[in-house]
Structures are given as structure tokens and as C-alpha cells.
Chain A
């Protein structure tokens, strides 16, 4: 599936920009500088929007399309921001056969977003991940560092309600 590209407004801060400039300066001139720069930039911003990739392209002297090509090739790069609460549903084999797809459907319905998207208020983002190593609890849902096991679609609303602030 093609990577989703966020159309939410960019909300980078001055501090983040300073950090990014420092990262770019450190990698400039290195062979293969794009990958490590993207990695570290994602640590700073949580994702890699056009504003960030443009700074990287300009700073490293690499075409923007090349930077974008790399960011869409590797699955670890995200083009959508993470919300305050990142909801991640495991679609690994065990979770899937135990009904994770129905849980995911409920999540997209309640949050109004698709996997790899973020709610406009920046509160929730949704990720469909692979095995988290807790197959005994399948299907597994995580919200940031909290783990919820043996999820059913009926329980989803109650779990999300815990993250109302």
C-alpha cells in the first residue's frame, strides 16, 4: 500500500528546527547522508513532512524527490504525525485470527481516521503494526506504552475513553 501523506498543518518549533539544522550539518558531505538524516529528523519531529524533507534536501544538496523516494521506500519512515496517543493494533498472525481486523474497523469508525493517520486535533493517531510479542493476549492493542489484551470491538470505546484528556 502506498504511504499516506499527512495534510495536517506543520507545527514544527524553533527548537526542533535548530536540532534538525545541527543534524544536517553533521551529516552533510557524508556518502549516503540521506538515511541517517531522515532517521534523526524523525526522532525530532515524529514524522517527515514536506517542510522537514525540504530542509533536508536543501541542506544536504540532494534533490527533494530523492529524499522523498528514500522516505517512501523504507517502512520505518512515517509521513504522518503521531498523535498525543498513538493507538496501535497488532495485525500479526495470532491477533489477526483472533479478530484484530474487527477491532481495527471499530477504531477507524470511532476515531474517524485510517491507519497511518492522525486526528485533526492531534490527539490520536492509528497504526496497524505487526507482532508485538504478546500473542497469548491476542488480539493486542497498545496506546503509547499501555497494553490491552484480548480486545473485542465492544471494548474499544471504553478503552479510548480513558484517554479523554
Chain B
């Protein structure tokens, strides 16, 4: 690697020549504050928070985008810089709704943190006109409050990175604001509900639609039997909300917390993930044997499904008809579980804890009511962040909780289900089962490492049951778009594709704990969270979905076999083309 010699605050050091001033300063032990900068996603040098002095430069430079060169002398903390940064913050505050105490991001707001760290002591320095604030509450998954927006454009870049681009900068000058085309509400444009904008937002301008109160109301209703299920990736991220290191697996404490919140049963969506594999592997084998539409694409990710409906409606026949694990688990709770326990499904409230804001959209989709018309498979989908809020509200000391186990009869998940939370996990889980089924024996080689890792597109060819299966595991809709375009043009020759909406899969979902850019820019969060899942998989006695004893019991007692009429009624669904513009 070519290196250059620079000085940061007088200290000489050698750094790679493609470094920015920001990276060089970090290497030297100095953090430069940023607001608009999100590495690889939003590198526009717009907010002027990260200014630094470079000897000989005409003015202060935006360190996030300013490249180093040989002999450069950088200062990161002069009075001139401090004055500039403070002024930037004071000007932002002059048009910012400063109701911090009641803001969802109180304590995790990057603007608040910077004001605190950089000694802003007057919010009225530039008091004057404030633009008329717009609040968009049109969708099921998020609220946009422009009075908290600082126009950093991180959300716009995140949306663009998902190849969706339904939000952008409208107007000019003082009227500049984030919005949709023709100022339409978000619900009327082709938003896929992924929530990547929310986790990119430094302030409280973008938040999930909070449904905690609905859950509390259900828990406090003696008529209701309230059941909770948690997605595989929650255990790998929830701990961050309580100050634990990224990648801490908190499965046991999470279960204990949910039980203390008063849920009547604490179930594992991993059960539904194993069930999904049973149905999906069966569907895949059927498609292969009966000349069905190939490649088959997974359907677990509701953001991806909605993307396909809006942007590639012609490819919907490729999408597996399987409901997502969340919906499958809900459907089984309100049928098999309800019958076994003599509970009227109308009195059951299924709450799911998901890494995902699109799940809030998914629960109200058509054809997601396996127990009968009007009985939704899942009633309320909460994000990881909302669960943390519930735990805080109940003043449960999370760190001191014991480790507890999920409840039967939907409480067992195999290693195959656990890895659903990471990109490539569904593919690997499906291959573990499909290979056993097609070979007619239990295989020992079950680690499909080629589809692991956080790259956006992973491809492999596996020899399964006497045939070569070409697979791809794709995460992030920009990458999905690349693959879909190839399918549309006939260039692609895959048989089976996993697509996850969010880059890195569910561990990096739009409902996961928000890490500030200062962490996100220098840490591979999705890799750390995914590692927690693969580690759990490695240590579980059961690592193949079809070995899940509860899933076996379900088929034996209730569904018959995968792909049966009953299974289709409860566990499969349909899709609808939606408009793009």
C-alpha cells in the first residue's frame, strides 16, 4: 500500500494515501465530529461539522472527504475550528425543534451529543424564522418529523443505497426539506418500509411508528392471551440498547425480560424459521422436479417482497409462496397452539419482536390470516428498539436478569433457524434440509461457508441430490436490483436465490438498535451481530430445521407433510403488483 507522511496536531505519522483527513486524524488518536458523513453511503461534505485546518489551504476543509497528501499538516482542534463547529451547531439549532426531553432520540441523538461535547451553551444565538414543519404519519412503519431534521441527507442516501429513492431534497434555500415527489405522503410512493432511513437518521426526525402502548393495553386486558415471538436477530442486537458490546448474544435475558413484562407465552420465531425451511425446501424441490418457475427466490423479508411488487412485478412468480417466519409462527399460534390449549384464537394477541420496520407493514397484508378471516396471524410487530423501550418502562434491570428458556410448544429453534438473521442464513438452512431430503440421509457436512459473510452478493454451486444447484445470497436492495435485472434479461442461471432487503440481512435491519455514525463509520456492525448468530448455531445440538422436534410434532399432529393442503392454507400467501411511481 502506498503511504504518505502527514502531521496531525504536530504528531508525524504515515497513513495510506487514499485516506481522508478524518481517517488520518483517527489513526493519530483524534476523533473529528461528523454529522452528515456515513461511510460509503453519504460522503458529501455538506454539514461542515468535520472541519479541520490544513496548512496552506485557503479555508477550513471538510475532513470527511478531503484526501491526505504527502507532507500535509493537519490541525483538528484550534480555536478557529471550535468556533466554526459551534456556529454550525448553533445555526442548526435555530431551526430545530428543541423538545429534547420528549424526543425518542433523547440520549441517542447525534446533534444532542455534539452540542453537549462542543460546549453549545445558547440555543437562541441565531433565533429567527423557523420553516413550517411537516410531519408525515401516513405509513404504518415510520413517522417523519421535519422539525427535527437537520438536512444531513443521510436518509436520502440510505434510500438511494436501497435503490428505492422515494425521498429526496425538495425546494431550495430556506424552503429546503426532505420529502417525496410532488410532496405526496410516503404511503403513496413506492417506499418498501425497510427503515434504513431511520437507522441512518442522526436525530429524531425519523422514528418507527411506536406501538408500545398497544402492547401494554393488550397485556393489561385480562380477556387477552398475549403471546410474544422474537426473531433470530433480536438476541444479537438487543443488548446494545442496554450498553452491552455489539455482537453480545442476550437470548436468555431477552426471554426473561419478556416473561417479566407479562407475556403469557414467550415463543421463538426460530420455530417459524425452521417451519419456513420445511415448506420452502419442499417448494424448491417441487419446482425443480415439476418444471416450476426458477430461480426461486426467498420470501422471508417483507421489505424485499414489497420491493419486488413495486419494481419487478413481472418477477413475482419467482418469489416463494411461503409466508415469512413471523407470519408462520403467528398462524400456528392461532391454530395448532390455540386448539391444543383450548383458547379462542380471537382472544389471542400475537406480538412479534422484529429487527424490521417492514414487518409492521407485513402484518396487515392481505392473505395473512391463517386462523380465519379477520384473525390476523400477527397483531402487533415491534422493533428491537420498541422492546428496549418496554423493558426500560418496566424498569427491568436487563443486565441482572437470569438466562431463561423459551416456552414450548413453539420454543425450539435449530441452528439453521438462528442464522436466518444474517445474509446467507436462509440459503444455508434450506440447503442443509434440501440436501438431506434429496440424498435420503443425514449429511455431516452442513456448513455452506461460501454463502456466509457480509458481501452484498455471494454465489456458489452445490452438488445436491445428484444435481448442481447454482445459488446466490443477496442482501441490500441495490444488489438485489443487480441480480433481478439479470433474471429479467435471462442472463442469470441460478436455481435458488436468497434476497434480504437490508444490507447484511436482518442483523442490520431498520428496526435494530441505532448506532451513531461515530461507531458505524469505523465498525462492521452487521458482521459482529452475525457472528453472534453463527456462534450460537455452531454450539447447538440441533442444526437442521427438519430435526426440530416441535416442528416434527406439528406436522405429525396437525399439518401432515410439507406442502400439504393444510400447510398451504396456513403457511403460504400471495403477492400483488404495485405501482412504481
Contact A65 B175 (CB under 8 A): no
Question: CB-CB < 8 A to A64: which residues of B?
Answer: 181, 189, 581
- Closest A residue to B166 by beta carbon equals A65
Question: CB-CB < 8 A to B165: which residues of A?
Answer: 63, 65-66
Answer whether residue A68 sits at the interface, using C-beta atoms and an 8 A cutoff: yes
B548: min CB distance to chain A, Å = 43
Answer whether residue B172 sits at the interface, using C-beta atoms and an 8 A cutoff: yes
Answer whether residue A37 sits at the interface, using C-beta atoms and an 8 A cutoff: no
A87: min CB distance to chain B, Å = 24
The CB with the most chain B CB atoms within 10 A, among A54, A57, A65, A74, is that of A65
Contact A65 B172 (CB under 8 A): no
Contact A73 B168 (CB under 8 A): no
B171: min CB distance to chain A, Å = 5
**Chain A: residues with CB nearer than 8 A to chain B?**
1-3, 5, 50, 53-54, 57-58, 63-69, 72-75, 79
Taken together as a complex, chains A and B put the C-alpha atoms of A54 and B580 apart, in Å, by: 10
Contact B175 A68 (CB under 8 A): no
Task: Please encode chain B, from 158 to 187, with 1 for each CB lying within 8 Å of some chain A CB and 0 for all others.
Answer: 001000011111111001000011110000
Question: CB-CB < 8 A to A79: which residues of B?
Answer: 182
B324: min CB distance to chain A, Å = 27
Taken together as a complex, chains A and B put the C-alpha atoms of A130 and B336 apart, in Å, by: 73
Contact partner of B169 (CB less than 8 A), chosen from A57, A67, A69, is A69
Taken together as a complex, chains A and B put the C-alpha atoms of A46 and B561 apart, in Å, by: 64
Contact A65 B171 (CB under 8 A): no
- Closest B residue to A1 by beta carbon equals B175
**Chain B: residues with CB nearer than 8 A to chain A?**
160, 165-172, 175, 180-183, 189, 580-581
A34: min CB distance to chain B, Å = 12
Contact A68 B168 (CB under 8 A): yes
Question: CB-CB < 8 A to B160: which residues of A?
Answer: 63
Question: CB-CB < 8 A to A5: which residues of B?
Answer: 182-183
The CB with the most chain A CB atoms within 10 A, among B160, B167, B170, B171, is that of B170
- Closest B residue to A58 by beta carbon equals B581
A57: min CB distance to chain B, Å = 7
Known interface pairs A57-B581, A63-B166, A65-B167; A72-B172 also in contact (CB < 8 Å):
yes
Question: 5 tightest A-B contacts by CB?
Answer: A63-B165, A68-B181, A65-B168, A64-B181, A65-B181
Question: CB-CB < 8 A to B175: which residues of A?
Answer: 1-2
Taken together as a complex, chains A and B put the C-alpha atoms of A67 and B168 apart, in Å, by: 10
- Closest B residue to A51 by beta carbon equals B581
Contact A50 B181 (CB under 8 A): yes
B358: min CB distance to chain A, Å = 19
Taken together as a complex, chains A and B put the C-alpha atoms of A50 and B581 apart, in Å, by: 9
B68: min CB distance to chain A, Å = 29
Taken together as a complex, chains A and B put the C-alpha atoms of A75 and B169 apart, in Å, by: 15
- Closest B residue to A65 by beta carbon equals B168
A65: min CB distance to chain B, Å = 4
Contact A73 B172 (CB under 8 A): yes
The CB with the most chain B CB atoms within 10 A, among A50, A54, A67, A68, is that of A68
Given contact pairs A2-B175, A63-B160, A63-B168, a sample of 7 additional A-B residue pairs in the complex whose CB atoms are under 8 Å apart: A1-B175, A2-B170, A3-B171, A5-B183, A54-B581, A64-B189, A67-B181
- Closest B residue to A53 by beta carbon equals B181
B24: min CB distance to chain A, Å = 32
Contact B581 A72 (CB under 8 A): no
Taken together as a complex, chains A and B put the C-alpha atoms of A90 and B180 apart, in Å, by: 32
Taken together as a complex, chains A and B put the C-alpha atoms of A148 and B129 apart, in Å, by: 36
Taken together as a complex, chains A and B put the C-alpha atoms of A58 and B168 apart, in Å, by: 17
B164: min CB distance to chain A, Å = 8
What are 25 A-B pairs at a CB distance below 8 A? A1-B175, A2-B170, A2-B175, A2-B183, A5-B183, A50-B181, A50-B182, A53-B181, A57-B581, A58-B580, A63-B160, A63-B168, A64-B181, A64-B581, A65-B166, A65-B168, A65-B181, A66-B168, A68-B168, A68-B181, A68-B182, A69-B168, A72-B171, A74-B172, A79-B182
B311: min CB distance to chain A, Å = 11
